[in-house]
Structure 1
Amino acid sequence: MADTAHGRTSGAPTVFPTVLYEDARAAIRTLTQALGFVEEAVYEGEDGRVVHAELSLGNGRVMLGSRGREGAFARAMAGAGPACVYVVLPSADAVDAHHARAAAHGMEILVPPADQEYGSREYLARDAEGNVWSFGTYAPGRA
């Protein structure tokens, strides 16, 4: 059901972070192996570079691709810096287990799991190209 006055819908997410990488293939390996994402789709250009990929975790998805392509989106993103993507995990135990997996795969841990004053348990990691990945129990919009 849609709340058209506020752009809200129920069901599947309607916002999908998009991150560009110099080495999108390496990013896909890191995100799947170290952070538990599932590769849903990968489309390559004639040169073998990743044009578009979709990875999922829970009911969310992130889209990614290779830097340096042609087109309006590539031009708009040319000067974009690292991004931060927040991912909701179901429990404090899940945050701790997820952190252990990321650390075991060599992710740079910026902040280890910690309880926040607003009730969430969270940690921060950085990938090889400087993007920050935040995982926690806080779910925006959840009452």
Structure 2
Amino acid sequence: MSEQSAPSPSSPSVCPSMLYADARAAVRQLTEAFGFTTVALFEDESGLILHAELALGNGIVMLGSKGAGGEFGAAMAGAGPAAVYVRVDDVDAHHRRAVEHGVEVVAPPTDQEYGARDYLARDREGHIWSFGDYRPQIAAV
């Protein structure tokens, strides 16, 4: 089974990719607790998630199931958890939503010395997610 929405007029240049022992539970947590939207979801005949794309704002994270095979799975074997930064407009509201869904908060919303506000959360498989209002910029070349 697969589902995919119409392509967007732009796509991000950087897309974090992670593998989960229970990708279905990860998709559920990321959409319900963190507000991501499922853009694409591809499963094998047994229901194992081979590839999913979840969007928040103009960013996308890609994920799949550990043990699904393929070159990426082989390259990721034994790799540690990942950390991902996601920009949100209202850090405190986003934090409240995550807490309401039982997410483990590693660090509460905090004002940083460089002017940003952010918080850290750990998903159900140990990946660290940083949600904040910092807006990284790429200088024009």
TM over 0.5: yes
Q: What SS does the corresponding residue of 2:125 show, helix, strand or coil?
A: coil
Q: Which residue of 1 is the match for residue 32 of structure 2?
A: 33
1-side partners of 2:32 and 2:107: how far apart?
20
The aligned amino acid for 1:131 is H
1-side partners of 2:115 and 2:106: how far apart?
20
Structure 1 unmatched runs, 5+? 1-10
Q: Which residue of 2 is the match for residue 130 of structure 1?
A: 126
The aligned amino acid for 2:48 is R
2-side partners of 1:70 and 1:112: how far apart?
37
2-side partners of 1:46 and 1:78: how far apart?
23
The aligned amino acid for 1:128 is R
1-side partners of 2:38 and 2:72: how far apart?
22
Pairing of 1:1-40 with structure 2 (within 5 A)? 12-40=11-39
Q: 1:47: how far off? A: 2.2
RMSD of equivalent CA atoms: 1.2
Structure-2-length-normalised TM-score: 0.88
Structure 2 unmatched runs, 5+? 1-9
Q: How many residues align?
A: 130
Residue deviations 1:40-88 (CA, integer Å, cap 9, x gap): 1110012210000000000100000000121211100111111001001
Query: Identity rate of aligned residues, in percent?
Result: 61
Structure-1-length-normalised TM-score: 0.87
